[in-house]
Amino acid sequence: MDLRLVPYRPVHSLSEKRLIFYCLFFSAFLCFLLADVYGAESTCYGTTSKGSLEHGVQLPGEGENFVAYSSFAITIGRTYVHTKVRDIIVDAYETLEKDMPVKVFKYGETGLKEGRRFRPHKTHQNGLSVDFIVPVMDRNGRSVHLPTNVFNKFGYSVEFDETGKYGDFRIDFEALAGHIYALHNAAQEHGVRIKRIIFDPKLQPSLFKTEYGPYVKDNIKFSRKRSWVRHDEHYHVDFEIPCK
């Protein structure tokens, strides 16, 4: 048996070590860059009526039970929000998939990537304001999307009567209250409060009569006066997140 020791030879030569070092360094740098671009938390500045947003993110264009009000609006960058707002909205829709599986939802205008003035809105400036198009039912009581297109100003020129009817559509107050309830719960899980919801005061009694109505009435601050535009075809939600 040959008992001579095998001469020591380093596993990696100097150039191999250097190569490994560069690979590791480059991977770490790439991860850092990707995290910066895709994973950064947003920062909001100022207020919803005078503010801006850093690292704003776009809401997903659609999901199992929701869609955006306009693919054109997505393209021109009108659906950006704070990362926490996005997470709350997506979580709420996921909850509704289980709790209200036959209902469908639609969101409206949110804001620009870097916030600031968002015409024609008076707020929506720092990623914390979101408009949701009212969930509606057709004449057969089926949950459907309110049509939103260039001919009805992407839904914003639709006028519901005081009972919540518009042509063959009527506001689905049960789904509306369920959505607000889900948003409130999702916000709490993310340590965020809902600052206020603006919705036509004349339609609010119908909302409060629903299954989730009493909870919604007790836990959410609703607008009491008519605002600068009638909020009948959409409800405006402001989230409360500390801003710089």
Single out the residue of 181, 189, 183, 193 nearest to residue 241, CA to CA. 193
Beta strands in 145-226 (DSSP E): 165-166, 169-171, 193-198
Identify the H or E element spanning 64: none
Q: From the CB of residue 182, how many other CB atoms can be counted at a distance below 10 Å?
A: 24
Q: Which stretch binds Zn ion (CB under 5 A): 5-13, 82-90, 92-100, 234-242?
A: 234-242
200 binds Zn ion (CB under 5 A): no
- Note whether 232 binds Zn ion by CB under 5 A: no
Q: Which two three-digit tokens encode residue 186? A: 């999702």
Instruction: Kindly tell me which of 100 and 235 has the beta carbon lying closer to Zn ion.
Output: 235
* Residue span 134-153 as binding mask against Zn ion, x where in contact by CB under 5 A, dash where not: --------------------
Candidates 83-91, 96-104, 211-219, 236-244; binding stretch for Zn ion (CB under 5 A): 236-244
Nearer to Zn ion, 131 or 232 (CB): 131
- Report which residue type is found at 34: L
State the CB neighbour count (10 A cutoff) for residue 167. 9
**For Zn ion, which is the closer residue by CB, 100 or 107?**
107
Q: Locate tokens 């836990």: which residue?
A: 219
Task: CB nearer to Zn ion: give 100 or 105.
Answer: 105
Give phi and psi for 53, each to the nearest 5.
-140, 140
Asked whether position 131 contacts Zn ion by CB under 5 A, the answer is yes
Stretch that binds Zn ion, among 84-92, 126-134, 188-196, 209-217 (CB under 5 A): 126-134
Q: What is the Cβ-side half-sphere exposure of residue 151, based on CA atoms within 13 angstroms?
A: 2
Q: Reduce the DSSP state of residue 196 to 3 states and report it.
A: strand
Minimum distance from residue 200 beta carbon to Zn ion (Å): 13
Among 93, 118, 236, 239, the residue binding Zn ion under the rule CB under 5 A is 236
The interface region with Zn ion, picked from 33-41, 58-66, 74-82, 229-237 by CB under 5 A, is: 229-237
Distance CA 184, CA 194 (A): 7
- The residue nearest Zn ion at its CB is 236
Interface with Zn ion (CB under 5 A) = 131, 236
